[in-house]
Chains A and B, each alone.
Chain A
Amino acid sequence: MFDYKDLNLKIGLEIHQQLSTKKLFCQCSSNFKEEKLETEFSRRLRAVAGEQGYVDIASQFEEAKHREFIYHGYDDEYCLVDCDESPPYEINRDALITALSVAKLFNLNIPDKIIVMRKNITDGSTCSSFQRTMLIGYESGNSFIETSLGKVRITSLCLEEDACKIEKVEENKVYYSLSRQGIPLLEIRTEPDIKTPEHAKETAEKLGLILRSFPNIKRGIGTIRQDVNLSIKNGARVEIKGFQELRVMPKIIDYEISRQVSLIKKKKKVEKEVRKANENGTTSFLRPLPGSARMYPDTDLKQIIVTEELLSKIKIPELITDKIHDLQKKYKLSEELATELVKEKINFEDYTKRFKKISKGLLATILLTYIKEKKEHLEFVLDALNLEKITKDVVQDMLNELKQGKKINLAKYKSISNTEIEKEIKKIVKGKKNLTVNAIMGILMAKYRGKVDGKELIELINKYKK
């Protein structure tokens, strides 16, 4: 679509990953259902000057809207800390150690003292009007990940509080749920080393997989979010937020590039701004790009001294990316299959030992396709397949019968020997000489459905039709 190199496309990523520990600065759980509404209160937020005396333009913009923010507290999922009605408690140690471990893995420098900062945000998504965030690791000159298009450098790792989830927007009112507020978030930033939209997706996927190797990483919808920073020649830096799925990332990036290209063609200025990734593959304006004046130290918290004792708690797990690579190599699996096996935490090695006669690719495919089936049912079928009592084509039917509680008559599924089939083909061909391969196939499939392999059958028919 575009010559990205010619456009001087530069893409950087920001990955936000939730942790499953308790909330970062209180004892609330990070699991939430938002079922029983307990509290509702209303706030107005104001723009305030940052450390260097400037009011951040992003904050001003939000304030200009003069909106009322209404917060919903759900039973057991929030406390006074989330309401900004109590100072924060001490930082959650498990979250801190996880963050330090990730920083170590990426070879990032860990500060001697960690300073908790307040990042001003006045869109109401935090009750306090700021998000607490701290730099856990910063570039060392040796912090990067390898990708198909070369190294992508890691700029920084931050540990921060997640913000409230938006519930609805009315004319001058925005409703938020407090349940997500305060959940620990890891934020990983890359340098703008990403070269193409597909490359962005690959890098995001890889970073996500690396994170999932660590303990205390939250799983499920909405637990990992990606922001894309991009710029092109004569354009401006734009941040795109809110990708629903990684799959659509390249399409949306391409849309944004074409938007900027057409503005440049019309000799219009491309503004630095934050844009939203829309479900239809486009982007739309959210707010001006915030500057760096939006941060100042949190005065309610002491600085965290990174002691030897703290550093000794760091543990680097075996990486999922390494596990995938090992599976690929050892069993000659595709990257896709290997990735899925690791993601689903299937002990593939154990299965290969038990079902030696099933080809590795087929075994992996069956395990992944029927992952939701009962283990005993699946193993019954795999056993039959391993003993060559059935063919792979009947796996689905057998599982269905097992699920319905039927007793399995293996004879029904018994695979038919090739000589028996050949005999049958000869009989048909002899009877009606004008039949096409497909017609013969149809007759045989009706008779032997599930007991023969379709591909093999065609080969056999072809033998007699030549």
Chain B
Amino acid sequence: MKKNFGKAGDLVSVSTKDRTYFGTLIPSVDDDVITLKLDSGYNLGMRKDKIKSVKILKQISGKDSKKQLIVYNKNLPTISILHTGGTIASKVDYKTGGVVSAFTPEDLIEMFPELRDIANFKTRLIREMWSDDLRFKHFSILAREIEKEIKNNISGIIIGMGTDNLAVAAAGLSFALESCPVPVILVGAQRSSDRGSSDAFLNLASAALLITKTDFSGVAICMHENLNDKTCVIMPACKTRKFHTSRRDAFKIVNDSIIARVHYNESKVDFFKNNYIKKGEKLVIKDKFEEKVGLIRITVNMNAKQFLAYKGYKGLVIEGTGLGHTPLDVVDNETKEHANIKKALQELAKDTVLVMTSQCLFGRVNLNVYSKGRELQKIGVISGEDMLPETAFVKLSWLLGNHNKNDVKELIGKNLRGEINPTIKANEFLD
């Protein structure tokens, strides 16, 4: 006999051979288990085959929790939030037990009512995706969505995104937007918004303050400065990297320094640079990215095949060791393969733009110091200066999409969007 186990939200009594339990049905992850929310608040997983009967005491009314209506405040500027997914706008999904997205302005204001005092918010869901699933094409899509928003006379744009590739996307957008009249701030969260300790609110509110209180324009990242829920930092789009799997201050700047610090509680923004792009520029979008671009990391024990996998690519960024090195030398029987690696690089160099960066991340590539570097230059490898490998990768793709090959080789080492810092200061390193 098929039992009726009721549906999620129903108030039920469940009888087993021992006794009867009362509670509300919660959607269960498994088909063979029902989940009952007891009066105590605990969820109880009960195997269906052990249940004798389920009595539905009260069916779900279908009434949702009340959502606050949003009132437009004509005295406040308007910010447009483009959601792409990620932890920043997520709630618990009781069906899967995982975290799902909440994107409407109502969702946002319900979660963070204080935002109403900073600006009016328009929100649009562009994609619901992990940032891990980003492709170059999404940088173009985002650039075109930004274009649409700018036509609506907004003060700035916040892009909510998963943190894993947020910094790479920031670099991608800063290339795609050659110039932009309003700020575009990428914001993520390391703790989902459904928990009281989420970092999402401070990150969002700080980005909103930057947009409404200052003349800053350009693409930047806004995230927690440290473990305190006090300040967020505005970080350069092309010089920032996620350095921690889980901390709220996971994002750190490499070979550069912070643009500004936002003190949310004091409603204050302190700038540390004055050469930033100001509001009011013309919008120029160049959103083509070359698909056939790769990034290879140098390790010990490599073989030539790993390099030759990029045969036919238009560009390849090498994440070399130290000042920018690869295995090349045959010093004994064990290193014979290195001759093949050298040949593979020479072969690749015929059609592929090769750019050297360093897995040290901090400091500049220099291909003149050691003979190995000079050898690589002879092969045709170009220095990526102090660019982050991921930034160089995105830049190379963008250059190849919008410029001819000779210009690409010329421009890769030139600073276009703050991706190259000509003067790295002593304090621009780990503490």
Which residues of A does B touch, CB under 8 Å? 39, 41-49, 51-54, 59, 63, 80, 83-87, 109, 111-115, 117-120, 122, 127-130, 133-135, 138-142, 156, 158, 291-297, 299, 303
The residues of A that contact B29 with a CB separation of less than 8 Å are 303
**Contacting pair A109 B247 (CB below 8 A):** no
**Scoring B residues 14 to 39 as 1 if CB is less than 8 Å from chain A, else 0, what string do you get?**
00001101001010011001010111
With an 8 A cutoff between CB atoms, is B99 at the interface?
yes
Once the chains bind, are B201 and A41 in contact (CB under 8 Å)?
Answer: no
* B230 located at the interface, meaning its Cβ lies under 8 Å from any Cβ of chain A in the complex: yes
Residue from B21, B41, B191 having most chain A Cβ neighbours under 10 A = B41
User: At the interface with chain A, which of B42-50, B131-139, B288-296?
Assistant: B42-50
Nearest-Cβ distance from residue A206 to partner chain B, whole angstroms: 23
Interface 9-mer from B72-80, B90-98, B338-346, B367-375: B90-98
- Across the interface, do A128 and B45 meet the contact criterion of CB distance under 8 Å? no
Q: What is the CB-to-nearest-CB distance from A77 to chain B, in angstroms, rounded to a whole number?
A: 17
Taking A85-B248, A296-B194, A303-B45 as known contacts, 12 extra A-B pairs with beta carbons closer than 8 A to each other, sorted by chain A number, are A47-B196, A49-B65, A80-B247, A112-B33, A113-B30, A128-B196, A129-B195, A138-B44, A141-B18, A292-B40, A294-B41, A295-B43
Q: Is the CB of A42 within 8 A of B228?
A: yes
Q: Does B404 contact A (CB under 8 A)?
A: no
In this assembly, does B104 line the interface, its C-beta being within 8 Å of a C-beta of chain A?
no
* Contact across chains for A299 and B41 when beta carbons are under 8 A apart: no
A-B contact pairs, 23 of them (CB 8 A): A39-B227, A41-B226, A44-B202, A51-B37, A51-B92, A51-B94, A85-B227, A85-B248, A111-B46, A112-B46, A113-B33, A114-B45, A122-B196, A127-B197, A129-B196, A129-B197, A130-B196, A135-B38, A156-B40, A292-B38, A292-B40, A299-B92, A303-B29
Check A292 against B97 for contact (C-beta < 8 Å).
Answer: no
Closest Cβ of chain B: how far from A272's Cβ, in Å?
14
Residues of B within 8 A of A48 (CB): 111, 193-196, 198
Are A128's CB and B195's CB within 8 A?
Answer: yes
Check if B228 sits within 8 Å of A43, measured CB to CB: yes
Within the assembled complex, what's the spacing in Å between the Cα atoms of A420 and B182? Answer: 111
Contact assessment for B42 and A117 in the assembled complex, using a CB-CB cutoff below 8 Å: yes
Decide if A41 touches B94 in the complex (CB within 8 Å). no
Which residues of B sit under 8 angstroms from A142, Cβ to Cβ? Answer: 18
Of B46, B202, B228, which is in contact with the most chain A CB atoms at under 10 Å from its CB? B228
* Interface range on chain B (Cβ under 8 Å from partner): 35 or more
Shortest CB distance A445–B (Å): 64
Nearest 8 pairs of A and B residues by beta carbon:
A129-B196, A53-B65, A113-B45, A295-B41, A292-B41, A41-B227, A135-B42, A45-B196
- Contact A45 to B197, CB < 8 A, known contacts A51-B92, A115-B35: yes
Residues 236-262 of chain B, each 1 if its beta carbon lies under 8 Å from chain A, else 0: 000000000111100000000000000
Chain A residues contacting B43 (CB-CB under 8 Å) are 115, 117, 135, 295, 297
| Cα–Cα distance between A293 and B40 once the two chains are bound (Å) | 9
The reply to whether A141 and B19 form a contact with Cβ atoms under 8 Å apart is: yes
B332 within 8 Å of A (CB atoms): no
Question: Smallest CB–CB gap between B40 and chain A, Å?
Answer: 6
How far is it, in angstroms, between the C-alpha of A296 and the C-alpha of B227 when the chains are bound? 25
A113, closest chain B residue (CB): B45
Mask of B97-114 contacts with A, CB within 8 angstroms, 1/0: 111000000000011000
Contact assessment for B19 and A140 in the assembled complex, using a CB-CB cutoff below 8 Å: yes
CB < 8 Å neighbour of A84 from B38, B191, B194, B245 = B191
Of the candidates B18, B37, B191, B230, the one having the most CB atoms from chain A within 10 angstroms of its own CB is B37
Partner of B98, one of A51, A128, A295, A299: A299
Q: Which residues of B contact A46 (CB under 8 A)?
A: 196, 198, 201
Does B229 count as interface, using CB distance less than 8 angstroms? yes
Q: Which of B30, B229, B246 contacts A85 (CB 8 A)?
A: B246
User: Which A residues lie within 8 Å of B191 (CB)?
Assistant: 84, 128
Query: By CB atoms of chain A within 10 A, which of B42, B47, B94 has the most?
Result: B42
Closest Cβ of chain B to A159, distance in Å, is: 11
A84-B197 CB under 8 A given contacts A53-B65, A297-B94? yes
- CA–CA, A321 to B120, complex, Å? 66
Chain A residues with CB below 8 A from B248, complex form? 85
The residue on B at minimum CB distance from A109 is B18
Contact pattern, B 50-61, Cβ under 8 Å of A = 1, otherwise 0: 100000000000
Residues of A within 8 A of B46 (CB): 111-112
Q: A115-B45, A295-B42 are in contact. Are A130 and B195 (CB under 8 A)?
A: yes
Asked whether, in the complex, the Cβ of A43 is within 8 Å of the Cβ of B229, the reply is yes
CB nearest to B248 among chain A residues: A85
> How far, in angstroms, from A41 to B226 measured CA to CA in the complex?
9
CA distance A41 to B227 in the complex (A): 6
Chain A residues contacting B195 (CB-CB under 8 Å) are 48, 118, 128-130
Contacts of A115 in B (CB 8 A): 35, 42-45
Residue numbers in B under 8 Å from A85 (CB-CB): 190, 227, 246-248
CB contacts (< 8 Å) of A128 on chain B: these are 191, 195-197
Q: Tell me the complex Cα distance, A117–B193, Å.
A: 17
Contacts of B431 in A (CB 8 A): none
Q: Who on chain B is nearest to A50 by CB?
A: B41
Contacts of A113 in B (CB 8 A): 30, 33, 45
**Min CB gap B48→A, angstroms:** 10
From B65, B190, B196, B245, name the one whose CB has the most chain A CB atoms within 10 angstroms.
B196
Tell yes or no: B64 within 8 A of A by CB: yes
Which residues in chain B, 104-129, are within 8 Å of chain A measured between CB atoms? 110-111
List, in ascending order, chain A residues with CB within 8 A of B247's CB: 80, 85-86
Q: How far is the CA of A114 from the CA of B44 in the complex (A)?
A: 7
Across the interface, which residues of A come within 8 angstroms of B19, CB to CB?
Answer: 139-141
A448 to B25 Cα, complex, angstroms: 80
User: Using Cβ atoms and an 8 Å threshold, which residues of chain B touch A127?
Assistant: 197
Tell me which residues across on chain B come within 8 A of A41, comparing CB atoms. 226-228
Contacts of A291 in B (CB 8 A): 41
Please give, as numbers and ranges, the residues of chain B lying within 8 Å of A59 by CB-CB distance.
Answer: 196
Q: A86–B247 Cα gap in the complex (Å)?
A: 6
Bound CA–CA A463/B24 (angstroms) = 81
Q: Please determine whether B229 and A117 come into contact, CB atoms closer than 8 angstroms.
A: no
Shortest CB–CB separation between residue A178 and chain B, in angstroms? 12
Within the complex, the shortest CB–CB distance from B324 to chain A, in Å, comes to 34
B197 and A43 form a contact (CB under 8 A): yes
In the complex, chain B residues 205-240 whose Cβ is within 8 Å of any chain A Cβ: 226-230
Instruction: Name the contact of A297 in the complex, choosing from B92, B227, B245 (C-beta under 8 A).
Output: B92
A84-B197, A129-B195, A130-B196 as given contacts; A42 in contact with B229, CB under 8 Å: yes
Known: A48-B195, A118-B195, A294-B41. A303 touches B97 (CB 8 A): yes
- Among A53, A80, A140, A297, which residue has its beta carbon within 8 angstroms of that of B64? A53
Query: Complex: how many Å from CA A83 to CA B227?
Result: 9
CA distance A114 to B33 in the complex (A): 12
Looking across the interface, which residue of chain B has its beta carbon closest to that of A296?
Answer: B92
Closest partner residue, chain B, to A44 (CB atom): B229
Q: Does the CB pair B246–A297 fall under 8 Å?
A: no
- On whether the beta carbons of B26 and A51 are closer than 8 Å, the reply is yes
Whether the Cβ atoms of A299 and B97 lie closer than 8 Å is yes
Asked if A87 contacts B246 (CB within 8 A), the reply is yes
